[in-house]
Amino acid sequence: MNLANLDLNLLVPLDVLLAERSVTRAAERLGLSQPALSGALARLRRHFDDPLLTRAGNSYELTPLAVQLRRRTGLALAGVERVFASEPDFNPATSRRTFTVLASDYPMAVLGPRVTALIAEQAPSVTLRLEHHSPAVIEAGGEAMRGVDGILLPHGVLFDLPSVNLFTDSWVVIADRECETIGDSLTMADAQRLPWVFTYHSASAFTGAGRQLQLIGAAPRVQCVVESFLALPYYVLGTERLALVQFQLARHLARDERLRVLDCPWDVVQLVEALWWHPTHTHDAEHVWLRTLFAQAGAELPPRR
């Protein structure tokens, strides 16, 4: 496709229309007249040969194509923003750059606060956007990372992309302190007998320790799957469920005295958390600076004693 033949000015209206699902609200948000935005929508419909928005009662719904486009428009606009935010000489103290990094709530909780503190010290006008990744984004790999500055993931999930190791962590189990079916320590019999809540449980999305439990022939009885590490206590308290959580996060969750942190009864594999990025960012001065901050924040995490 020849980009010279495309009206790239339609990208912003497309992004807002897909987010708002309303010509009226999108026009208000963009500061345009409703007829002007209706005209933009008509041109977009002709280009894609798809209605994009279809009426459902008093509201509009996205067509299947529009659902795909919604994620792509955000990535495209982020890429455009990075292009025009580039500076000949990067100076953190004066930069107004916005960095977007995808992550689960685990590194957001244990690493994000220190990274943002370092940014505040060195680059007070820089903004860090930490957004949730998804299995679909992880499966897309490098293609999905063209529009962001990086993704925080442990080794063993992504391959063939540049990365920097941030810190090493281990896995522990959390349980309700009042659970009477667990003794002084967790046993393999407990791990096979009691129900689990997993954070990720599919062919492409999993925790290393959870996959290891399956590989050694001790398939856990997964009763619930919730894609949030910070939400795990709510699915454990008052039940017999067990949950795998990273030690660095368990340090924070254990402030709730109703929770009990237990060692895994198998030789659990450690995880190495890393920042991954698209190769096009490798030599960007801004990105090199960002990676240095993440590495510094990771090195400052207290080790497990």
* Number of other residues whose CB lies within 10 A of the CB of residue 247: 18
List of residues 6+ apart from 218 with CB closer than 8 A: 188, 191, 192, 266
Strands 171-176 and 243-246: antiparallel
Dihedral, CA atoms, 183, 260, 268, 231, nearest 10 degrees?
A: 140
DSSP letter at 3 equals G
> What is the predicted pLDDT for the residue at 55?
86
DSSP letter at 57 equals T
Q: Taking phi first (over 0 means left), then psi (-120 to 50 degrees means alpha), and beta for anything else, what does residue 232 get?
A: alpha
> What is the predicted pLDDT for the residue at 217?
78
CA distances from 143 to 17, 85, 138 (A): 24, 21, 10
Whether the CB-CB separation of 104 and 295 falls below 8 Å is answered with: no
Cα–Cα nearest to 102, from 60, 55, 140? 140
CA distances from 157 to 122, 207, 214 (A): 32, 9, 17
Give the burial string for 35-46 (b: 16+ CB within 10 Å, else e).
eebeebbeebee
Cα–Cα nearest to 277, from 267, 269, 289, 259? 289
Cα–Cα nearest to 173, from 87, 268, 97? 268
> What is the predicted pLDDT for the residue at 205?
60
> What is the predicted pLDDT for the residue at 174?
96
List of residues 6+ apart from 270 with CB closer than 8 A: 168, 169, 170, 171
Take residue 256 and report the two structure tokens written for it.
């709730």
3-state secondary structure of 252: helix
Decide: pTM greater than 0.95: no
Take residue 183 and report the two structure tokens written for it.
């003794």
Q: Which amino acid is at 280?
A: T
> What is the predicted pLDDT for the residue at 4?
56
Tens digit of pLDDT per residue, the chain (305 long)? 555 567 778 889 999 999 899 888 999 988 989 999 899 999 999 989 999 999 887 788 999 998 888 878 877 777 777 667 666 668 999 998 889 999 999 999 999 999 999 999 999 999 999 998 877 777 766 667 777 899 999 998 888 899 999 999 999 999 999 999 999 999 999 999 999 999 876 655 667 777 778 777 778 899 999 989 999 999 999 999 999 999 999 999 999 999 999 999 999 989 999 999 988 888 888 999 999 999 999 999 988 76
DSSP for 60-90 reads: EEE-HHHHHHHHHHHHHHHHHHHHHH--SS-
CA torsion through residues 281, 282, 286, 288, sign: positive
> What is the predicted pLDDT for the residue at 82?
67
